[in-house]
């Protein structure tokens, strides 16, 4: 039970540390940089982009980064 408690504590700390504002700004910046018309730079479009990233790229990217960090130890 202690492991779950430590994991929950770490999860809470990481959640507080992650800056969702930076993520939101990056999504908006990338939509603009990609040249989307202003009429398509919407909350709904941003949500689709973020969810697509989460579903298709986040997991593999995190695994790769963890592997790089482990190789450095």
Domain spans of the chain, in order of start: 2-72
What torsion do the CA atoms of 29, 31, 36, 38 make, to the nearest 10 degrees? -60
Q: What is the pLDDT of residue 41?
A: 98
State the pTM of this model: 0.78
Say if residues 44 and 52 touch (Cβ distance below 8 Å). Answer: no
Kindly list the distances between the CA atom of residue 45 and the CA atoms of 2, 18, 39, in Å, as whole numbers in the listed order.
Answer: 41, 22, 10
Three-class SS state of 70: helix
Q: What is the pLDDT of residue 70?
A: 86
What is d(CA 1, CA 6) in angstroms, rounded to the nearest whole number?
9
Question: Going residue by residue through the chain (73 aa), what tens digit of pLDDT does each one get?
Answer: 677 899 999 999 999 999 999 999 999 999 999 999 999 999 999 999 999 999 999 999 999 999 998 888 6
């Amino acid at each position: 039970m202690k492991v779950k408690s430590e994991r929950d504590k770490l999860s809470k700390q990481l959640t507080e540390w992650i800056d969702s504002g930076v993520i939101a700004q990056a999504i908006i910046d990338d939509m603009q940089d990609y040249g989307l018309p202003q009429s398509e730079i919407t909350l709904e479009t941003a949500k689709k982009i973020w969810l697509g990233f989460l579903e298709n790229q986040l997991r593999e990217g995190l695994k790769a980064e963890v592997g790089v960090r482990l190789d450095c130890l």
